[in-house]
């Protein structure tokens, strides 16, 4: 599995050395580091108010230089954190399903998957196309795993983001109603020029995809009506 600058990853705090925090990046099984200025905004009086060994945190990749992976804790927003934690919970569930069927071969199979992608992304893909799973574990085991995935009860994922629409157009309110008209989501007024968008899906990844699709519809309408559009 390869990572890029800007990726958001689940990490576990390993140790604190001076003003640098060293973490274990779960999906990569590698070490990353966070300098003091990337822990939290403003002055930090006590580093351990934010990070302690064994604590699970969500970090953003700032720079990759060989084996040196520089991360940030403060640049991760609430929605990104929620998304990664949701995926983490599902990944643990998927891992347990593999253990139930594959027994002692589980670790070997999961390591093969992680060489190319995360276990979460792999399972999401095989739900639609099981060929990759069949190649790894055989038809019989593949069938058993897919049957469990089908009956697995997942909580509906809810994702919220903020839309900003600004314009000096005197017919602004009327135009905003036209731009935000959408039956696939719940959009509510927050304050001048700000609206919350809320969608539900089977998992957080699908919820995020829905919001991006809605944003792709809103953006050209906003531009057409001379509005400045932002999705946060």
* Residue 10 pLDDT exceeds 80: yes
* Of 157 and 113, the one with more pLDDT: 113
* Of 54 and 201, the one with more pLDDT: 54
The mean per-residue pLDDT over the stretch 11-37 comes to 93
pLDDT category of residue 71 using cuts at 50, 70 and 90: very high
Residue 1 lies in a domain: no
* Residue 182 pLDDT exceeds 60: no
The CA-atom distances, in angstroms, between 58 and each of 40, 43, 82 are: 13, 20, 9
Average pLDDT, rounded, for the chain: 86
Cα–Cα distance for residue pair 102/141, rounded to 1 Å: 7
Q: How many CB atoms lie within 10 A of CB 5?
A: 10
* 26-55 tens-digit pLDDT: 888 899 999 999 999 988 988 988 999 999
pLDDT category of residue 3 using cuts at 50, 70 and 90: confident
Residue 53 lies in a domain: yes
Question: Does 136 share its domain with 184?
Answer: no
Residue 172 lies in a domain: yes
Q: How many CB atoms lie within 10 A of CB 68?
A: 11
Residue 87 lies in a domain: yes
Question: Does 97 share its domain with 63?
Answer: no
- 212: closest CA among 150, 138, 161, 141? 161
The CATH number of the domain holding residue 12 is 2.40.50.140
**pLDDT on residue 69:** 96
- Count of structural domains, the chain: 3
**pLDDT on residue 37:** 94
pTM attached to this predicted model = 0.60
Check if the beta carbon of residue 27 is closer than 8 Å to that of residue 38.
no
Show which of 61, 76, 91 is a domain's final residue.
76
Residue 2 lies in a domain: no
**pLDDT on residue 154:** 54
Cα–Cα distance for residue pair 193/56, rounded to 1 Å: 36
What is the domain extent for residue 195?
Answer: 157-231
DSSP string, 8-42: EEEEEEEEEETTEEEEEETTTTEEEEEEGGGTSSS
**pLDDT on residue 185:** 66
**pLDDT on residue 173:** 63
**pLDDT on residue 128:** 85
* Of 115 and 192, the one with more pLDDT: 115
The mean per-residue pLDDT over the stretch 50-65 comes to 94
């Amino acid at each position: 599995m390869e990572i890029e600058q800007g990726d958001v990853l689940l990490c576990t705090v390993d140790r604190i050395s001076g003003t640098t925090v060293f973490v274990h990046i779960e999906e990569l099984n590698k070490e990353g580091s966070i300098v003091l200025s990337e822990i939290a905004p403003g002055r930090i009086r006590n580093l351990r108010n934010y990070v302690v060994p064994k604590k699970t945190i969500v970090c953003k990749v700032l720079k990759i230089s060989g084996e040196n992976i520089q991360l940030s804790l403060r640049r991760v927003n609430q929605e990104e954190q929620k998304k990664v934690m949701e995926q983490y919970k599902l990944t643990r569930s998927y891992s347990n399903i593999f253990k139930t069927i594959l027994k002692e071969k589980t670790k070997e199979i999961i390591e093969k998957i992680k060489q190319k992608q995360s276990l979460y992304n792999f399972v999401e893909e095989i739900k639609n196309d099981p060929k990759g799973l069949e190649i790894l574990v055989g038809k019989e085991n593949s069938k058993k795993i897919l049957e469990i995935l089908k009956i697995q009860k997942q909580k509906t994922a809810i994702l919220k983001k903020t839309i900003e629409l600004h314009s000096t157009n005197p017919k602004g309110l009327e135009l905003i109603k036209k731009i935000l008209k959408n039956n696939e989501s719940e959009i509510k007024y927050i304050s001048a020029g700000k609206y919350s968008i809320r969608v539900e899906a089977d998992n957080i990844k699908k919820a995020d995809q829905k919001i991006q699709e809605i944003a792709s519809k809103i953006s050209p309408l906003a531009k057409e009506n001379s509005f400045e559009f932002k999705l946060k």
